[in-house]
Amino acid sequence: MRTFLFLFGFLAFLGLSFFVFHKTFGSTRTTVSLVQKQTPEEGRVEGTTDSHESKMPISFESRAAAAQILPIKKPSVGDLYVAGAHASVVLDADSGMVLHEEDSHEKRQIASLTKLMTAMIVVERIKNLDEAVTIPEEAVYAEGTRVGCPRSGYCIGNRLKVGEQVSVRNLLKAALMNSANDAAISLGMHMGGTQAGFADIMNKRADELGLKNTHFCTPSGLEIDGRESECYSSAYDIARITANSLQYDVLWEIMRLPNTTITSIDGTQSHDIFNTDALLDQYPNLLGTKTGFTPLAGYSLLAVATDATNKHRVVSVVLDDSQRWQDIQHMFAWAFSSFVWK
């Protein structure tokens, strides 16, 4: 009996020891195996911080990941009132959340804010920005601001010539920086055959983006005589276009360029290009602006800036605002002081 009890106890001790050994070391092997199968980039968003690396700005290449970070309004913060604007909106670019709006869905003429949509479609469809564009007569004799004419009726430089060939990239510079109508029209006709043909492309793209209060007439933003009421957008729709365009770095790099000179493909013609951005190098963390003016639209402006961390991008738009530059700065200051991103 004693021998039996001794054997039974010894076997029980061995079983218990095996159980403890398996739970302790077997589990560890399973965990290590799972870690070894996981690649270093799994489960990470580029630009975020973990415990093993230094802090880096979020790139927001993944819009889905960026949308998880939302602006939260601070307690006791008042609403924004933009006295000078007939319509205004402040939009968090990455989540799409509206931080402020006043008449933001009202249909209004938007003048040269249109050119950002034109430029966005150009870079979406033309992969080689060094592609040559032949300048048509219709573009050269357009009204308003043109290459060589930094303001309507004020020409101080060499203008584009009928038949001249200019790269897509250089025409984008003229259209976005100098708001040149001839450059935007040349790009539109290069792609659509006619201004109306390109307007059809623009409106189809607007439908794809879900814009409800937008109808484009021309690639430049000039209204069509007698049909002005057909050419419109809204502050909110413009903000949506702006947020979408942020994925194309080349557009925003161009908008931050100082005054420059562009040349024709053959190098025989050169043209001075001015930047209409009054806040260029004046406002911290500004990514870029686009101006617009016609007598019907009034003075309008879209702009994008980041907070002090360079992580959170905000779009501000004012339509028909005679104090647009002051108001747009006030809108950014309000947004970044009134919200935290979590």
Q: Where are the alpha helices (DSSP H) in the chain?
A: 2-21, 27-37, 63-66, 114-125, 137-140, 168-177, 181-192, 195-208, 235-245, 249-255, 324-338
* The pLDDT value given to residue 151: 77
| Distance between CA atoms of residues 342 and 333, nearest Å | 19
Contact between residue 335 and residue 100 where contact means Cβ atoms under 8 Å apart: yes
pLDDT number for residue 152: 76
Domains of the chain, CATH where assigned = 69-341 (3.40.710.10)
Residue 45: C-alpha distances to residues 23, 48, 220, 267 (Å):
34, 6, 38, 45
| Predicted structure pTM score | 0.81
Cα 89 from chain centroid (whole Å)? 15
Phi, psi at 296, each rounded to 5°? -75, -40
User: Splitting the chain (342 residues) into consecutive groups of 10 residues, what average pLDDT does each group show?
Assistant: 44 44 35 28 28 31 63 94 97 97 98 98 98 98 93 88 98 97 98 98 98 98 96 98 98 96 98 96 95 97 96 98 98 97 94
**CA 91 to chain CA mean position, Å:** 11
CA nearest to 140, candidates 203, 220, 206, 248: 220
According to the model, what pLDDT value does residue 186 have? 98
What residues contact residue 204 under an 8 Å CB cut-off, 6+ apart?
none
Cβ(300)–Cβ(318) below 8 Å: yes
d(CA 128, CA 267): 19
The closest alpha carbon to 115, from 259, 264, 222, belongs to: 222
